[in-house]
């Protein structure tokens, strides 16, 4: 006669509740990590910008993500000359077009890549922190998409 093996589970209600709230809890913690990273990126970028009129620093805008993204924030540079500061300009000569007399060289502005390198470094650190958070909550394998 074969022996019967039996396993008894008790107090599964607590485990079920924990598993049910885990995604909400992870979303809240991940959102906090992303917001902190965005705020520190904004502060670091503002500190790296030169201060002449303060328009580059005032042009940094941090707003919550909307639409398909329910966590995180969007950091934007809205200063009118922000793109020119980051990417620079070409030499501007318009000889023969009647705009600048005799093809006067109006110079160029060299690029000062500040926004993207700092923002990407903070974003990478936030993703690493979120992956660690998932491991801390019991994930077996996590990959960044």
Q: Domain range spanning residue 37?
A: 26-136
Q: Who has greater pLDDT, 28 or 70?
A: 28
**What per-residue confidence (pLDDT) applies to 98?**
52
**For residue 3, what are the CA distances in angstroms to 6, 44, 88?**
10, 68, 80
Residue 84 neighbours by CB under 8 Å, 6+ apart: 109
Q: What are phi and psi of 134, to 5 degrees?
A: -65, -40
What pLDDT is recorded for position 43?
A: 96
Structural domain count, the chain: 1
pLDDT higher for 136 or 107?
136
User: Is 54 part of any domain?
Assistant: yes
Residue 103 lies in a domain: yes
| Residue 76 phi, psi (nearest 5) | -125, 155
Task: For residue 61, give both structure tokens.
Answer: 């805008």
Q: Is residue 144 part of a domain?
A: no
Q: Mention every residue, 6+ apart, whose C-beta is less than 8 A from residue 135.
A: 142
> Could you tell me if residue 80 is inside a domain?
yes
pLDDT band, residue 8 (cuts 50/70/90): very low
In a domain, 13, yes or no: no
Measure the CA–CA gap between 142 and 129, rounded to whole angstroms.
12
Residue 3 falls inside a structural domain: no
Say if 9 falls within a structural domain: no
């Amino acid at each position: 006669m074969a022996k019967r093996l039996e396993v008894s589970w008790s107090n599964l209600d607590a485990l079920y509740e924990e598993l049910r709230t885990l995604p909400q809890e992870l979303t809240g913690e991940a959102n906090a990590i992303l917001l902190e990273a965005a705020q520190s990126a904004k502060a670091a970028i503002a500190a790296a910008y030169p201060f002449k009129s303060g328009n580059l620093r005032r042009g940094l805008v941090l707003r919550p993500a909307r639409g398909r993204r329910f966590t995180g924030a969007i950091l934007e540079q809205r200063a009118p000359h922000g793109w020119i500061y980051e990417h620079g300009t070409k030499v501007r000569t318009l000889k023969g077009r009647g705009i600048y007399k005799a093809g006067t060289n109006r110079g160029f502005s060299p690029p000062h890549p500040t926004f993207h390198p700092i923002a990407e470094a903070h974003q990478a650190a936030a993703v690493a922190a979120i992956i660690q958070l998932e491991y801390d909550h019991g994930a077996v394998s996590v990959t960044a998409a």
